[in-house]
């Protein structure tokens, strides 16, 4: 039978074989104890144990501290523990419906249930539980919660301080390298896509003579001609004139005459464009050298900082950001040291 002598005290009694051990085993498994396949009933896939705890006693604040720390708080007056064991041996622990590790289940379960069997007083025999028992007896849950919060704040603060101090110890060398990298990239004044434009310009400058010769030859054939060979525009003009006369006689060939006129206009446009192109062809060895030098510099930066102009620019921005972080580390260290001193002073005053 089950007898309740006082709030929070439950005693299981009964004859051998009544099922006391099964209930206790389930409770032990629920609070992080051993969970193996022996708990799974034959022909079942899994065993489940779940309990809902109504938080009314001195354990409430300590439980809240853990739930808030792990971001598991739901209803402040209740907490739900669940344990699942699958027949292949895998077990799952949950608190308020969210999966957690067994260690957290044990930590929380120790606050909710204390099991005493025949000649077996678990908490009294576990040195790790002695301080908790004394704290509960002294009813210091509130100041203990404040202390733990302050303690964790100091730990987090000191971790950040350690990282900053380590970074600062390497700061001179790091600052020198980051400054060189950021200034090298910034001084280049790179523009996305300029490498492709420079390659096209280099090809034009390096082949200016050949480009001019080919353009001039085409222009001579189309528009200039020679005494022996009339220009293409003259020949096509003659053909267009003949077709125009033909169309006056045979109106059915008017479209053919129009096509000849269009061809003559197209060739005239080509001739005009070629003349403009010839004027733009630049014989400029100095500019060619400058373009080659710029391309070599871009290639060098790409090789060192990412392989492309966008990657180089991103690397430079990141280097500048790191510089700002490092140079601001001293101020942050001073700020954290003041926070640490205040936390220590407040904890001593409370003590």
Question: pLDDT digit string (tens) for 5-24?
Answer: 566 677 777 777 777 777 88
Would you tell me how many other CB atoms lie within 10 Å of the CB of residue 171? Answer: 17
Residue of 67, 158, 139 lying closest to 108 (CA atoms): 67
CB 84 within 8 A of CB 46: yes
Residue of 113, 101, 117 lying closest to 31 (CA atoms): 113
CA end-to-end span of the chain: 46
- Apex 210 CA angle, 206 and 212, nearest 5: 105
pLDDT of residue 258: 86
CB 32 within 8 A of CB 109: yes
Q: Whole-angstrom Cα distance, residue 293 to residue 334? A: 48
pLDDT bucket at 119, cuts 50 / 70 / 90: very low
Q: Whole-angstrom Cα distance, residue 2 to residue 298? A: 84
The overall pTM is greater than 0.85: no
Whether pLDDT at 273 is above 60: yes
In the block, which residue shows the tokens 């950040």? Answer: 160
pLDDT of residue 79: 92
Sorted by sequence, the CB contacts under 8 Å of residue 296 that are 6+ apart come out as: none
Report residue 283 CA to chain centroid gap: 51
């Amino acid at each position: 039978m089950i007898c309740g002598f006082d709030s929070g005290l439950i005693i299981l009694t009964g004859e051998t074989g009544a099922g006391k051990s099964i209930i206790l085993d389930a409770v032990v498994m629920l609070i992080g104890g051993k969970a193996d396949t022996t708990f799974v009933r034959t022909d079942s896939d899994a065993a489940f144990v779940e309990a809902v705890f109504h938080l009314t006693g001195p354990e409430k604040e300590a439980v809240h501290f853990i739930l808030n720390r792990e971001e598991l708080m739901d209803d402040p007056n209740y907490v739900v523990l669940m344990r699942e064991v699958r027949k292949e041996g895998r077990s799952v622990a949950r608190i308020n419906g969210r999966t957690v590790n067994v260690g957290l289940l044990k930590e929380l379960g120790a606050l909710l249930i204390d099991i005493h069997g025949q000649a077996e007083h678990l908490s009294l025999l576990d040195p790790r539980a002695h301080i908790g028992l004394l704290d509960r007896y002294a009813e210091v849950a509130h100041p203990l919660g404040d202390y733990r919060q302050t303690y964790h704040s100091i730990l987090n603060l000191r971790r950040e301080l350690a990282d900053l101090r380590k970074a600062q110890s390497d700061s001179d060398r790091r600052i020198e390298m980051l400054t060189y990298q950021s200034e090298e990239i910034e001084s280049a004044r790179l523009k996305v896509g300029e490498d492709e434009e420079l390659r096209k310009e280099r090809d034009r400058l390096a082949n200016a003579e050949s480009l001019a010769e080919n353009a001039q030859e085409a222009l001579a054939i189309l528009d200039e001609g020679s005494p022996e060979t009339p220009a293409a525009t003259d020949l096509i003009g003659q053909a267009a004139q003949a077709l125009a006369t033909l169309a006056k006689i045979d109106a059915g060939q008017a479209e053919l005459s129009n096509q000849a006129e269009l061809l003559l206009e197209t060739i005239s446009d080509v001739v005009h464009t070629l003349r403009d192109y010839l004027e733009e062809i630049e014989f400029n060895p100095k500019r060619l050298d400058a373009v080659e030098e710029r391309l070599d510099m871009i290639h060098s930066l790409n090789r060192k900082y990412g392989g492309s102009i966008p990657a180089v620019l991103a690397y430079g921005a990141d280097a500048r950001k790191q510089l700002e972080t490092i140079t601001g580390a001293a101020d942050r260290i001073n700020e954290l040291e003041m926070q640490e001193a205040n936390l220590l002073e407040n904890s001593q005053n409370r003590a």
